[in-house]
Amino acid sequence: MLTVRTREELTAATRDLRGPSRKVCLVPTMGFLHEGHLSLVDRAHDLAETVVVSIFVNPLQFGPGEDLGTYPRDEARDLALLEARGTDVVFVPTVEEMYPAGDPQVTVSPGPMERRLCGAHRPGHFRGVLTVVAKLFGLVRPDVAVFGRKDFQQSVLIRRMARDLNLGVRVETGPIVRESDGLAMSSRNAYLSGPERTQAVGLHRALSATAALFGGGERRAAALLAAVEREIANHPLLSLQYAEVVEPEGLEAVNSASPGDVVALAAFCGTTRLIDNVELS
């Protein structure tokens, strides 16, 4: 496994590992890896002969008062996990390497979908996400890239960016990986205290209750979201920020749910913001 830290080293490494019959798959991450990230690496091996993973905590996607300075980091552990998973190249740039002239003057606008779901509560977040992903696509030149479904809005926007801007990258989405009690794996779970961790499972229970209602024939979005609110109310350390039923392409809220629509939510568990979603089927 090669660990590279500059754009020049990355270009040289991917050039040497790329060939007429060898595809390259990129897995962008912010590090502090868990089994959810590693499942994306496994998926990348199924999709391409060369797997590149980036580890970069991107300041552009953090707003004022968010956890940029305290975001969990453990590079040595991350590299060991990636090597054990057969990763070919790991790109670990500094902020100065990614943005040598400071904050970029040209960024990628998410368009109207930025105002939906998480974007409504984190202004500028997805502009930062799309900008850094576009830079990584330009640096790595992957054939395919893999993102996790837990960050549902992010994956939809990145796929739309790749399509609308003709970036030549196929965007794949890996399933949510959960703890044994159903909590979606997240690097930010490390922030949770013992009691908070116990109650955080309420997010998954709320979504499961909604999916069960839908499976039983309920189609009214208001009724499905009421089930979310009832379950969250059973967990006093959880504070719901939003819950919506949306169609999966444009993220527009629906009044009547159909198979394939998504229930997405965000909630604070103590001071930690967690997200989760479920596809209705």
Indicate which residues carry an active-site annotation: 37
**What are 47's two structure tokens?**
């999709």
19 and 46 Cβ atoms separated by less than 8 Å: no
Cα–Cα dist 31/39, whole Å: 14
Helix (H) or strand (E) holding 170: strand 170-174
Cα–Cα dist 9/14, whole Å: 9
Chain-centroid distance, C-alpha 273: 14
Angle at 247 between CA 259 and CA 244, to 5 degrees: 100
Cα–Cα dist 171/165, whole Å: 13
Cα–Cα dist 171/155, whole Å: 8
**What are 237's two structure tokens?**
């350390």
3-class SS at 87?
coil
The CA dihedral of 38, 43, 46, 52, to the nearest 10 degrees, is: -60
Comparing CA positions, the residue from 50, 53, 4 lying closest to residue 28 is 53
Comparing CA positions, the residue from 265, 187, 196 lying closest to residue 236 is 196
Chain-centroid distance, C-alpha 21: 29
Residue 270 CB-density burial (10 A; 0-12 exposed, 13-18 middle, 19+ buried): middle
